[in-house]
Amino acid sequence: MDTVRQVVVGGIALIVGAWSIIDGVRWLRGLGFYAPGGRLGPWADLLQRLGIDPDSRLVAVVFVVYGASLLAAAAAHLCGSTAGSIALIVVAASGLWYLPVGTLGSLIIMGVVGWEMMARS
């Protein structure tokens, strides 16, 4: 794995994972989700269409768990673990709903890590 790919994967995982944790903890502390202009992101519309209240404890906990899982899987991947690489792809795929930044970040992570895994075999 070359340094550029490590920085890309690690950087995206750090940004998306940390932001998910921060936003979820912010809600759990009673401050609500970060909402520029007073409106939640496009991910909230998707959840509403699925019948899930986007401004809920459930979603806040999912944010925290997703962020922590993404960071842990990225760390394992960056340490060279094949299981970590697989876990990172799975966790990134589970974040595709987090429009728009999480979706883009997940697609990049899945593409780079998938490419690395194919190149190794």
The C-alpha atoms of residue 71 and residue 60 are separated, in whole angstroms, by 17
Confidence bin at 108 (pLDDT 50/70/90): very high
pLDDT surpassing 80 at residue 54: yes
Which residues form the domain of 38? 3-120
Q: How many domains does the chain have?
A: 1
80 has a pLDDT exceeding 80: yes
Q: How many CB atoms lie within 10 A of CB 73?
A: 25
pLDDT in tens, 36-52: 888 999 999 999 999 99
